Structure 1
Amino acid sequence: MDYCFGVDIGGTSIKMGFFSRREGLVKKWEIPTRKGSEPTLLLQDISEAIELCLLEKSMHKDEIAGIGLTAPGPVTDNGLLRGTVNIGWGDVFLGEEAERMIGIRPVFIGNDARVAAFGEFIFGAGKEVNSLLMLTLGTGVGGGVILNGQILAGKTGTAGEIGHMTINPFETLSCSCGKKGCLEQYASATGMVRVAKSFLDETDKPSSLRKLEKVTAKDLWDEAKNGDELALKITMYVSRLLGMAVANACYIVDPEMVVIGGGVSQAGQFLLEMIQKEYATNVFPHCRDKKFALAELRNDAGIYGAAAMVFQK
């Protein structure tokens, strides 16, 4: 039983990987995400994609050790997915449904950000440490904590949701979660654009950002790296909030390493060093030398983490 599948369900596509315990990732591909009020059609698509892969490899289902499955929602330790806002499901025991429809057992399920953190822990930036906190800065802000080699899920599956830590109690606009003042409202790619527009509206100071028809998070960090004064001021503000949030989280879980991933992490060491500097300003002196690293697996972290769940268990 040296083979497994890692499946990472996203809002627009499902990333799939076929893994060997000895060889690692053998094949990866994507299929579209079918949305609806229940996961039946989506699981049918996954089942058909797995069957095609097994046919290509001249293998049978009984040769597969299991399937690791991620979903964009809180997952409890007993496998209950507590709804998916981006896809449209309510509460469902997704692993049990997948076992029934796909015909491969066992199926292990986890939250997408938490499983991505596990992928980085086993195969990526965190493979030399015993614990880590990971933030994914993309359309939203995801988070995951790995302690003593295990994903920290919590009673309701929401442990590690650093993106919805309240960072500004005076915010008047609502986050997608319904709260106000969440880190995600400032430090996600869309949040950074919102912050940038606010700064641009509040001053007439010249900036290369004003020449752009539509400012993106990438533009913001690129212009900051190029020395644009206003762009640098905006990125320092965002980094301060990220540093504060990481410091607050580290007081509770105290991991060895902090890993920054997601699309915004392509800003590289410039981004990492700014967050690390603000973290050091907002944490106890004896915690200031914590390791910071950029994620290494990028968009494949989810499928690697999903496969790791199978091989570990």
Structure 2
Amino acid sequence: MSLDQNNQTSDKKLLMDVKDLKVHFNIKKDNALPWSKGQTLKAVDGVSLSIYEGETLGIVGESGCGKSTLARALLRLLPITEGHVVWLGQDLTQLDKKQMRDKRQELQMIFQDPLASLNPRMTVGEIIAEPLKTFHPSLSKEEVRDKVKSIMTRVGLLPNVINRYPHEFSGGQCQRIGIARALILKPKLIVCDEPVSALDVSIQAQVVNLLKELQAEMGLSLVFIAHDLSVVKHISDRVLVMYLGNAVELADKESLYAKPTHPYTRALLSAVPIPDPDLERKKKVQLLVGDLPSPINPPSGCVFRTRCPHANENCAQSKPVLSPIETNHMAACIRLEDIA
């Protein structure tokens, strides 16, 4: 049963249902013997979520919490240790390479570094056209060129730059090229892995607004990963908060920003600047104590307990799971009633 069964989006078509997803890596020291076992790094450790048609799911959390690993695992760009990723009723974890390759027409990704994600030896036209040549080889050169120019115009690029190379463009323009490449096959879901973090603030707003326009126009579903909680609030319908590879809170954006429940979410939101100087000075910032634990040796029980101001001995005994608090709001904390 989906974790979002009580969500207002449940009347929409369910596209992706992720169940207890785990991505673990075996880590060995440089001087380790070849037959040594090594240590296990738990990058994603049992995350469940659902994605519905036409919605944007935002994913937030500090660096090292597993956001990007989760994003790549959803598209099987990384090996999945355990769990299931069900796309339109079909478990992607059970598909072979050829079957998964065919599914990539419906599942695309926009990467964090706009320039590094583009092949410097290829022109803009070749970069955007590459998916078409891979999945629709029967198209003529004229048809491919027409489609490329059309999508370039839609994302705000002049068609007459089709023969230029990535290094000739700004960061914002390179990200528009990446967006055009992702959209050329008309996918159903696009995973955006911190697509605006490398851009100036004014350019960030332009790219986010472009994504919202394209979503409304093409009926896209988005997974939007970012550090900036203000950006996530602007574009998302629901927000998933991650900490050390675990989901600690999931809610619609109105509920999450108006009434955060988990102590970690409260700390994140308290750090968001308020434009009003008077309110900013009066704001109470909830600072986190200590450093982020290593995912190689995470705390027992609740992974957040070593930094949580409300933790007690019971928090070390069992790992909390996302549980409903109210409609459209879930959190993973055994002390919710005590700290509400």
Q: Mark yes or no: TM-score above 0.5.
A: no
TM-score (norm 1): 0.34
Larger helix proportion of the pair: 1
How high is the TM-score relative to the length of structure 2? Answer: 0.32
